[in-house]
């Protein structure tokens, strides 16, 4: 395969990451102010969880981990992850 980026195939995963992070932050902080969110510990934790350069539990929702788990459902990098 040899993918070096998610261009052309990672949009579903990236949108899922954004939805997950927004939901967790909203659940933890309620109605938050975008201007002060960068100072929040929960926001920094969300960034770590989706960081593509972090593997394992620390980067639980990184595209690498999501793709690795997708293999359980016979979905491979470059394939549509919808439905």
Q: What is the DSSP annotation of 39-63? A: G-HHHHHHHHHH-TT--GGGGTTSH
pLDDT for position 80? 74
User: Which among 69, 67, 74, 48 has a CA at the least distance from the CA of 3?
Assistant: 67
Count of domains forming the chain: 1
In a domain, 66, yes or no: yes
The domain in which residue 56 lies consists of: 31-76
Residue 1, pLDDT score: 56
Q: Is residue 43 part of a domain?
A: yes
Q: Is residue 20 part of a domain?
A: no
pLDDT tens track, the chain, 83 positions: 567 777 777 787 888 888 988 888 888 888 877 777 777 888 888 889 999 888 788 899 998 888 888 889 888 877 776 66
Q: What are phi and psi of 7, to 5 degrees?
A: -60, 125
Predicted model pTM = 0.71
């Amino acid at each position: 395969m040899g993918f070096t980026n998610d261009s052309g195939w990672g949009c579903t995963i990236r949108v899922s990451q954004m939805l997950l992070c927004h939901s967790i932050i909203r659940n933890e902080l309620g109605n938050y102010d975008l201007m002060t969110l960068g100072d929040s510990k929960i926001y920094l934790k969300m960034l770590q969880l989706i960081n593509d350069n972090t593997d394992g539990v620390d980067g639980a929702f990184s595209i690498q981990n999501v793709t690795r788990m997708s293999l359980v459902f016979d979905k491979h990098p470059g394939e549509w992850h919808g439905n």
